[in-house]
């Protein structure tokens, strides 16, 4: 299905459109703009997303362009936002809702896990809920315990959901369009520390803006990055790093700084995932490190380790390592002791190479 040697971007549904430098915020906005234009059934709402354009400004200008009945403010009620989105989906719309921070998604959990995720199944396709739930995730902005979490594993544990996390503006736009067009409910996690540049974990150094990064060049029009498709972000021979979101750049920095020729797989779609790309890479390198920002225990890394063990055991030359956030709430002042930066990732790469 996915050739292991496929280079990054080879899967894009090629576009003739001009590429423009965009931040991830601009790329996400462009995706919503394109879809509002293409499909009358797309509506966008959430807290502060209407007139103001969202606290991260992802929907700025969309209400003025597409009208108040397509892009509007919602009450501060995440359960209500997702609940009405399920009803709109049942009617035939394609709602794209914003949860202001992933940390605020818990009041909506019943509507996500019991309703959106299972409506197609329980009604035997009589009703469906084709909604996209966007939410900024991850730390690195001194957001403390309520503006920093990465709850992807809570969603990957729910059957019927798709969980996606882009790592760059190009993928963000293509994946968001694919998510909006998808007939399944999609949890679309946006690593907020990547909104303005490819942050690699060196918090004491200035971040390169997306305008100076090749993945910040984004086509203006319609294109998709398919779901269930990982990218070989950095080809390599020594070991395989499985990562997504911010950790893709942290892993890249760790590989550069340790001189280890790591093959970094950017999952992009966390679940359902592109197992073939993962398995082909680990079978090639024989070593694997799993990295995520979220807490460790029952994190998605545990699932990745299990899958690699099930599918690649006889190719492994070293135990698989996990580098993750600690099993604590995301702290405020101690943010950088919590965050799994390039130093911790690099140390794991070395241990796995030495094993």
Partner 1 sequence: MNQHPPLHLHVPEPTGRPGHDTDFSYLHLSRAGEVRRPPVDALPSDTSDLAYTLVRVLDDEGCAIGPWAPDITPDLLRFGLRAMMKTRIFDARMVIAQRQKKMSFYMQSLGEEAIGTAHALALSEGDMCFPTYRQQSLLMAREVPLVDLICQLFSNEHDPLKGRQLPVMYSVRKAGFFSISGNLATQFIQAVGWGMASAIKGDTKIASAWIGDGATAESDFHTALTFAHVYRAPVILNVVNNQWAISTFQTIAGGESTTFAARGVGCGIASLRVDGNDFLAVYAASQWAIERARSNLGPTLIEWLTYRAGPHSTSDDPSKYRPADDWSHFPLGDPLARLKQHLIGIGVWSEQEHQETHDALEAEVIAAQKEAERYGTLSDGRIPSASAMFEDVYKEMPAHLRRQRQELGV
Smallest distance from the beta carbon of 274 to partner 1, in angstroms?
A: 9
Establish whether 147 is a catalytic residue. Answer: yes
Q: Do the beta carbons of residue 176 and residue 22 sit within 8 Å? A: no
183 binds partner 1 (CB under 8 A): yes
Count of residues near partner 1 by CB under 8 A:
46
Q: For residue 148, state whether it binds partner 1 (rule: CB under 8 A).
A: no
Give the x-and-dash track for 113-142 against partner 1 (CB under 8 A).
-xx---xxxxxxxxxx--------------
39 binds partner 1 (CB under 8 A): no
**Whole-number Cα distances in Å, 226 to 172, 184, 266:** 11, 14, 13
Report the chain's C-alpha Rg in angstroms.
19
CB 309 within 8 Å of CB 278: no
**Cβ(253)–Cβ(342) under 8 Å?**
yes
In the complex, the smallest distance separating the C-beta of residue 233 from partner 1, rounded to whole angstroms, is: 22
- Is-contact 135 176, C-beta < 8 A? no
Q: In the set 22, 31, 35, 88, which binds partner 1 (CB under 8 A)?
A: 88
Q: How far is the CB of 40 from partner 1 (least distance, A)?
A: 8
Q: Which one among 110, 142, 306, 337 touches partner 1, defined by CB under 8 A? A: 110
Q: Which stretch binds partner 1 (CB under 8 A): 77-85, 191-199, 215-223, 256-264?
A: 77-85
How would you label 176-198 residue by residue, b for 16+ Cβ within 10 Å and e otherwise? Answer: bbbbbbbebbbbbbbbbbbbbbb
Which tokens in the block code for residue 133?
Answer: 């739930």
Half-sphere exposure of 233 (CA within 13 A, CB side): 28
Closer to partner 1 by CB, 70 or 315: give it: 70
- Which position among 17, 66, 147, 292 bears the catalytic label? 147
70 near partner 1, judged by CB under 8 A: yes
Of 80 and 329, CB closest to partner 1? 80
Beta strands, E only, the chain: 19-21, 42-46, 71-73, 94-98, 132-137, 162-164, 186-191, 217-219, 231-234, 239-243, 262-266, 269-271, 288-295, 321-325
Instruction: By CB under 8 A, name the one of 5, 18, 77, 298 that touches partner 1.
Output: 77
Give yes or no for residue 87 binding partner 1 (CB under 8 A). Answer: yes
Which one-letter DSSP state was computed for residue 3? -
Indicate whether 86 belongs to the interface with partner 1 (CB under 8 A).
Answer: yes
Taking residues 224 to 263 in sequence order and writing x for each that binds partner 1 by CB under 8 A, - otherwise, the string is: ----x-----------------------------------
The DSSP result for 48-113, as a single string, is TTTTT--TT-TTTTHHHHH-TTTEEE--S-HHHHHHHHHHHHHHT-EEEEE-SSGGG-GGGHHIII
Segment interacting with partner 1 (CB under 8 A) among 69-77, 164-172, 198-206, 236-244: 69-77
Q: What is the dihedral of CA 173, 244, 279, 354, to 10 degrees?
A: 150
Contact segment (CB under 8 A) with partner 1 among 15-23, 79-87, 197-205, 318-326 equals 79-87
Q: Is 70 or 203 the residue whose CB approaches partner 1 more closely?
A: 70
Positive or negative CA dihedral for 190, 191, 193, 199?
Answer: negative
Query: Where does residue 333 rank: exposed (0-12), middle (13-18), buried (19+ CB within 10 A)?
Result: exposed
Q: How far is the CB of 30 from partner 1 (least distance, A)?
A: 23
Instruction: Pick the closer one to partner 1 by CB: 175 or 348.
Output: 175
Residue 206 binds partner 1, judged by CB under 8 A: no
Catalytic residues: 147
Binding site for partner 1 (CB under 8 A): 1, 40, 43, 69-70, 74-75, 77, 79-80, 83-93, 95, 107, 110-111, 114-115, 119-128, 159-160, 162, 182-184, 228, 272, 275
């Amino acid at each position: 299905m996915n050739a292991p040697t496929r280079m990054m971007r080879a899967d894009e549904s090629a576009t003739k459109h001009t590429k423009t430098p965009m931040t991830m915020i601009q790329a996400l906005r462009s995706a919503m703009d394109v879809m509002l234009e293409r499909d009358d059934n797309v509506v966008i709402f959430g807290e502060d997303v209407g007139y103001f354009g969202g606290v991260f400004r992802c929907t700025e200008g969309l209400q003025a362009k597409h009208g108040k009945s397509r892009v509007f403010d919602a009450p501060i009620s995440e359960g209500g936002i997702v609940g009405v989105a399920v009803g709109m989906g049942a009617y035939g719309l394609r709602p794209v809702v914003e949860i202001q921070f992933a940390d605020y998604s818990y009041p909506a959990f019943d509507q996500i896990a019991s309703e959106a995720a299972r409506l197609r199944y329980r009604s035997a396709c009589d009703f469906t809920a084709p909604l996209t739930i966007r939410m900024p995730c991850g730390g690195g902005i001194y957001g403390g315990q309520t503006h920093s979490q990465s709850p992807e594993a809570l969603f990957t544990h729910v059957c019927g959901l798709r969980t996606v996390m882009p790592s760059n503006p190009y993928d963000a736009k293509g994946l968001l369009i694919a998510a909006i067009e998808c007939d399944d409910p999609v949890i679309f996690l946006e690593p907020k520390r990547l909104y303005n540049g490819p942050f690699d974990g060196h918090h004491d150094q200035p971040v390169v803006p997306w305008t100076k990064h090749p993945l910040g060049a984004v086509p203006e029009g319609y294109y998709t990055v398919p779901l269930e498709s990982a990218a070989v972000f950095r080809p390599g021979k020594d070991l395989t790093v499985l990562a997504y979101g911010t950790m893709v750049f942290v892993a890249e920095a760790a590989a550069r700084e340790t001189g280890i020729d790591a093959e970094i797989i950017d999952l992009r779609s966390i679940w359902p995932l592109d197992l073939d790309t993962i398995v082909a890479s680990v079978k090639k390198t024989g070593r694997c490190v799993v990295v995520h920002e979220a807490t460790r225990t029952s994190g998605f890394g545990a699932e990745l380790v299990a899958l690699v063990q099930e599918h690649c055991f006889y190719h492994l030359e070293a135990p698989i390592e996990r580098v993750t956030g600690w099993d604590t709430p995301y702290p405020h002042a101690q943010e950088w002791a919590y965050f799994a930066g390039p130093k911790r990732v690099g140390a794991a790469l070395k241990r796995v190479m030495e094993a």
